Structures are given as C-alpha cells and as structure tokens.
Amino acid sequence: MTQFVKAVLFDLDGTLIDTAADFVRIIGKMSLENDWQAPPEAEIREQVSAGASAMVQLMLRHNNQLEVSEEALLEFRQQFLDDYEADICVDSCVFQALEAVLTELEAKGVPWGIVTNKPRYLAEKLLNEMQLDQRCAVLVCPDDVSRTKPDPEPMYMALEKLGIPRGAAGCVLYVGDHIRDIEAGNAAGMPTILAAYGYIPPEDQKSLKKWGADYITDTPEQLNKLLLSSGKFEYL
C-alpha cells in the first residue's frame, strides 16, 4: 500500500549528517592535552547520540579517571562544546546516499526538515557551514520546546512550522537513529524509519526491532532506496 507523504523530517547526528569524525577529532585533542589515550573511534561513534557528557565520560573512563568531581566533569563538557563550536565542520558531511534524497525531495517540492536534540546554536552553525540552512524547511531544537524527544512536542512544533495539521501527521515521515526518535515520531502519529546505520551502541543492536519503527534501514543506501524507489511512498 502506497503512503502519501507531504514532508520528511530527519534527526541530525548519525541520521542525516555523519558528524562523528569531528567528535573523534575533539576527543583526541582533549586526550592529548591531558596526556591521555583517546578511546577507540568506534566507541566514540557509539556515544554520539548520547551527547557531549557521554563522550567526555567515555574519555575519562578509558583513562581510569573515575574520581572526577561534578564540577570538573562540567568543565570538560564545556571545553568539548567550545572546541566543537570553534571547528564544527572539519570532517562532517551528509551521508553520501542521502544528498540524492534531499535533492529529489526538493525537485518534487516536498519540504524536508530536522528535529534534533542538538542545541540550536550548534545545529544552526553546522547547517550554515554545510550550506544546508537555506534548504532545510524547518529546524526544531531542544531550545524551542519544553519537552524534548521522546516526547512528541518537537514533532508537533515541526508540523506547525510546516503548516501541516496534527491530524495529517501520518503524511510526514520521521527518520532517526535513537529509540527516542522512534518513540517521538510514533507518539505524534508519524510513520517512523530507523536509521540503524547511526550511532547505536552494541548493547542496543539486538533490540532494534522492539523499538517500534515502521521501517528499519541498515545503510544510507537502503534509506535512499526506501524513500525514492521502493514504491512505498508517493510524494504530494
């Protein structure tokens, strides 16, 4: 059965944009400055969706820094965010197969947007440096809402900004790589697609089918095929 689609929404890190390389670079820099060993790249990638604190804590655990005070932890986190803001887009890029998706949606006149838990000042700067800011029809960040994902409030705000009534949420796809993305999309009544190629820790890999996504894609190429050539969606 064909699903009619009026818009497509994406999570940001690990779903639309591969930002992990820049986080790996920053954790490497911070480790070097403290005469520590940087954690393996794969382990850093797995923590990206959990945020700055999780990546900093991984660095500390990897170097047996287990007695760090809350104040010191906050200082490390702020240093991480400051370093990231200063050089936010050295190695980050749109997942290759997804640039074609954005281009095709734009050619069809179908708006696409981003609903992320990334702070707005960082999300805006990243989109600006990647020249996506003028292409993205809507950006919803934690700063914009009182309740973040997995609550559906950010999804409802995206619908409002797109001029789509909540009753038509079934015509808006949401793609994400975290259980909170799927829960938020489902709660809002949107068809959900799990980007299983994203930043998902090994312990979660075995339970992905239980997250409740309508579709699961293991690679950006699979997501491209699902959205553009599977025949499952008709764009309005």
At 136, give phi and psi (nearest 5°): -75, 120
- SS3 label, residue 94: strand
Structure token pair of residue 230: 């599977």
How far from 212 is each of 20, 27, 118, 157, CA to CA, in Å? 25, 33, 23, 22
At 140, give phi and psi (nearest 5°): -120, 125
Residue 11 appears among annotated catalytic residues: yes
Closest CA to 155 of 117, 115, 111: 115
At 113, give phi and psi (nearest 5°): -150, -175
At 155, give phi and psi (nearest 5°): -70, -40
- Stated as kind and residue range, the H or E segment containing 60 is helix 52-62
DSSP 13: B
From the candidates 11, 18, 22, 83, give the one annotated as an active-site residue: 11
* Terminal C-alpha separation, the chain: 16
Active site residues: 11, 13
